[in-house]
Amino acid sequence: MATTSLNDLIEALAGAVTDAQDRIEQHQMAHLSDYFDEDNRPKSVVIRMPSIQHGADEGDEDLYRAPILPLVSTNVLRIKDVEIRFDADLGSLIDPGEPLPDEPADAPPPDPTHGWRVKPRPAKPYVRVDTSLGAKESRGGAVHVVLRVEGSEPTDGAARLMNHLAQTQGVFKTFKPGD
């Protein structure tokens, strides 16, 4: 029988969701460098357009430079909600003073001076759950997870950067084709 405390199971599931959101953000940050060159200058595209400059002759063209980052859609994703359903058998109610079933009765209590990472034992009684429910039907603790993501607005810093880059775009040269 594979049992764990219900609190530990919920903490593990919440941790998995947090880790998933962190990975989404790291993936998005990794692709930000695609919009900058090796000297951290914004990559841009040069577009040739008919000139609308004052005094330009017919047939004159403007070279217009536009940074790529504000031109493309940035997929800013975040986890919208998570739904987790699972079947489990409830075990016995464990008194915090009792040793755990997988712990020897004479095990010393956790050392509180060991550091902040030591997880104190629960002060209240807690419930153990058996997540191997359904093993007879070879489902082995069947879990159904629904994870929905949604697009979100860019962060303030990203929006300011894209706005600044958009302001730097414009005509940098007018010429006659063939010159």
Q: How many domains does the chain have?
A: 1
Q: CA angle 100-102-107, nearest 5°?
A: 65
Residue 35 forms part of a structural domain: yes
**What is the residue range of 78's domain?**
3-106+116-175
Higher confidence at residue 122 or residue 143?
143
What's residue 154's pLDDT? 84
Question: If you write DSSP's letter for every residue of 126-143 in order, what string do you get?
Answer: EEEEETTTTGGGT-SS-E
Contacts of 37 (CB under 8 A, 6+ apart): 43
Specify if 19 maps to a domain: yes
What is residue 127's predicted lDDT score, i.e. its pLDDT? 64
pLDDT reported for residue 177: 83
Residues 167 and 45: beta-carbon distance below 8 Å = no
Residue at 111 is within a domain: no
What pTM was estimated for this model as a whole?
0.57
Q: Give 109 or 42, the one with higher predicted confidence.
A: 42
Give me the pLDDT at residue 9, please: 82
